[in-house]
């Protein structure tokens, strides 16, 4: 476990964090850690978004279909191929 001191320059933010932690019945450190984790994950997702959009555009350009539609077609084909 590592320790860090967080200095709030904004009294309203400090109060809001303390109240939210009390409302959730959890320590402020847990609330702040959770918020930081979620923020870091959002940053990572934001970096991936352009690549996802590029891949999606390529998929649509090449006539891609949704997974559920693909599996429905496979199932239908399997029924017609059955003896």
Q: Would you call 41 exposed, middle or buried from its count of C-beta atoms within 10 A (0-12, 13-18, 19+)?
A: exposed
The pTM assigned to this predicted structure is: 0.57
Rg (C-alpha) for the chain, rounded Å, is: 24
Does residue 83 register a pLDDT over 70? no
Q: Express each pLDDT in 3-46 by its tens digit.
A: 999 999 999 999 999 999 999 999 999 999 999 999 999 999 88
What is the end-to-end Cα distance of the chain in Å, rounded?
64
Question: Regarding predicted confidence, which is higher, 61 or 9?
Answer: 9
Question: Regarding predicted confidence, which is higher, 3 or 80?
Answer: 3
């Amino acid at each position: 476990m590592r320790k860090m001191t967080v200095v709030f320059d904004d009294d309203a933010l400090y109060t809001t964090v303390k109240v939210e932690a009390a409302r959730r019945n959890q320590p402020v450190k847990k609330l702040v850690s959770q918020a930081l984790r979620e923020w870091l994950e959002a940053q990572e997702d934001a970096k991936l978004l352009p690549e996802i959009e590029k891949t999606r555009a390529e998929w649509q350009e090449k006539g891609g279909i949704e997974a559920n539609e693909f599996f429905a077609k496979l199932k239908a084909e399997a029924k017609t191929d059955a003896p």
